[in-house]
């Protein structure tokens, strides 16, 4: 976090605690989402279509959960799911 002045009021102290907690949680969520998507992309590019198909429901679940807790918007989750499925289809047609 950037350098800020220390909170003085009780409510400001509580807000700072909440912000640091949420920041840590958001970083964790971002990492989980990114690793799931990247693992899927690597499987598809390696030609392991069956394994990629098995991981797709887990990725859908992760993206839906991120949208539910408003980490990402519903439309972005939908767009990512669509693009990942499209990528899988494109590689599936090549083989």
Host domain of residue 72: 32-94
The answer to pTM > 0.75 is yes
In a domain, 45, yes or no: yes
Q: What is the pLDDT of residues 76-95, one digit of tens each?
A: 999 999 999 999 988 877 76
Q: What is the pLDDT of residues 15-31, one digit of tens each?
A: 999 999 999 999 999 99
Cα–Cα distance for residue pair 82/85, rounded to 1 Å: 5
The total of structural domains in the chain comes to: 1
In a domain, 16, yes or no: no
Under 8 Å between Cβ of 71 and 26 = yes
- pLDDT tops 90 at residue 2: no
């Amino acid at each position: 976090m950037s350098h800020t002045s220390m909170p003085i009021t009780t409510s400001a102290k509580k807000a700072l605690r909440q912000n640091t907690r949420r920041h840590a949680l958001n970083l964790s969520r971002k990492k989980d989402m990114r690793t799931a998507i990247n693992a899927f992309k690597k499987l598809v590019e390696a030609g392991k279509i069956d394994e990629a198909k098995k991981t797709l429901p887990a990725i859908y679940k992760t993206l839906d959960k991120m949208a539910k807790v408003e980490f990402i918007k519903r439309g972005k989750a939908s767009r990512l799911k669509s693009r990942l499925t499209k990528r899988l289809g494109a590689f599936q047609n090549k083989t």
